[in-house]
């Protein structure tokens, strides 16, 4: 796994897959979910609707792929992070599952790159530093298993971007340039 950190709007990032921090209805919403559906167009929502008619709802930690409409990506991976409830309700495990399920799917589909937003760190209220620690532990577990995959962590806010920079500073292979889009 190669790591890149970008500060900016994930809908502007070129990657084989863009991960969406969705909710269990997969019917869109605010935050990054709203931005992805707005930029990607109605095709993505139509696919989500079809999937939900089959599976009922998307569980927390589950990952559901669709095509990416007008985005510069082949796929959108919709995943549902945990709502922060204080930390004793399995939030860290569920958050890790969102990242791991997405990496697993990227590997199965033979993708070269995947872009993640900070899942659960907006409306769902996950504390930012704890969330970045979960990401770090997933990266450590999956580094070897994802050779050749570029993993891009995209943060809209400078503060969140800085937390990632702090966490990954010094990593061999991590591209920590101040890319801004």
Q: How far is the CB of 73 from ligand AR6 (least distance, A)?
A: 13
Applying CB under 6 A, which of residues 157, 166, 169, 178 lies at the interface with ligand AR6? 157
Of 94, 57, 68, 63, the closest CA to residue 79 belongs to 63
Contact 103, 97 (CB under 8 A): no
Q: How far is the CB of 84 from ligand AR6 (least distance, A)?
A: 9
Q: Which is nearer to ligand AR6, 10 or 138 (CB)?
A: 10
Give CA separation, 132 vs 7, 89, 163, in Å.
15, 18, 7
Applying CB under 6 A, which of residues 1, 19, 21, 134 lies at the interface with ligand AR6? 21
Count of H-run helices and E-run strands, the chain: 5, 7
Q: Which is nearer to ligand AR6, 32 or 44 (CB)?
A: 32
User: x/- contact string, 70-89, with ligand AR6 (CB under 6 A)?
Assistant: -----------x--------
Contact 77, 19 (CB under 8 A): yes
Please name every residue paired with 114 in a beta bridge, in sequence order, or none if there are none.
17, 151
According to the binding rule CB under 6 A, does residue 124 interact with ligand AR6? yes
Q: Which is nearer to ligand AR6, 4 or 120 (CB)?
A: 120
């Amino acid at each position: 796994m190669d790591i890149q950190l970008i500060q900016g709007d994930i809908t502007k990032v070129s990657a084989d897959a863009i991960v969406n921090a969705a909710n269990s209805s997969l019917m869109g919403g605010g935050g990054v979910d709203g931005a992805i559906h707005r930029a990607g167009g109605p095709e993505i929502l139509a696919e989500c609707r079809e999937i939900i008619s089959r599976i009922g709802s998307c569980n927390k930690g589950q990952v559901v792929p669709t095509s990416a409409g007008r985005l510069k990506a082949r796929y959108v991976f919709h995943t549902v992070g945990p709502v922060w409830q204080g930390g004793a309700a399995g939030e860290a495990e569920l958050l890790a599952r969102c990242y791991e399920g997405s990496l697993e799917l990227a590997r199965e589909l033979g993708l070269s790159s995947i872009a993640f937003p900070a899942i659960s760190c907006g409306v769902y209220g996950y504390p930012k530093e704890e969330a970045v620690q979960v990401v770090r532990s997933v990266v450590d577990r999956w580094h070897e298993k994802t050779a050749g995959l570029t993993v891009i962590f995209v943060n809209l806010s400078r503060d969140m971007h800085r937390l990632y920079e702090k966490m990954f500073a010094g990593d061999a292979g991590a591209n920590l340039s101040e890319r801004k889009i």
